[in-house]
């Protein structure tokens, strides 16, 4: 998949952009844990990147909702 192109990026900002776009794809497909991993890596490169912070908050909201639903099924 697209993640194969990440190691070829020597420029940290290009790598950040690619990781972010892949993270958005995972988020949209419902793979929140993989999306979060990539966003964490983006934020290691640029800790105050607003787009990544906003996506991270959305991911965390989805994870919290999923945990809430699972706990309340019992």
CA–CA distance, 19 with 65 (Å, rounded to integer): 25
Task: From residue 21, give the alpha-carbon distance in Å to each of 1, 17, 29.
Answer: 12, 6, 13
Q: What is the CA radius of gyration of the chain?
A: 14
Query: Over the stretch 15-37, which tens digit does the pLDDT of each residue have?
Result: 899 999 999 999 999 999 999 99
Q: pTM (2 decimals)? A: 0.80
Query: Over the stretch 48-66, which tens digit does the pLDDT of each residue have?
Result: 999 999 999 999 999 888 7
**Structural tokens at position 11:** 């420029």
């Amino acid at each position: 998949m697209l993640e194969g192109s990440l190691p070829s990026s020597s420029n940290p900002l290009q790598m950040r952009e690619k990781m972010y776009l892949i993270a958005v794809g995972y988020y949209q497909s419902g793979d929140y844990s993989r999306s979060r991993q990539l966003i964490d890596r983006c934020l290691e490169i640029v800790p105050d990147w607003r787009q990544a912070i906003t996506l991270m908050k959305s991911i965390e909201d989805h994870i919290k909702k999923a945990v809430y639903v699972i706990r309340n099924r019992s």
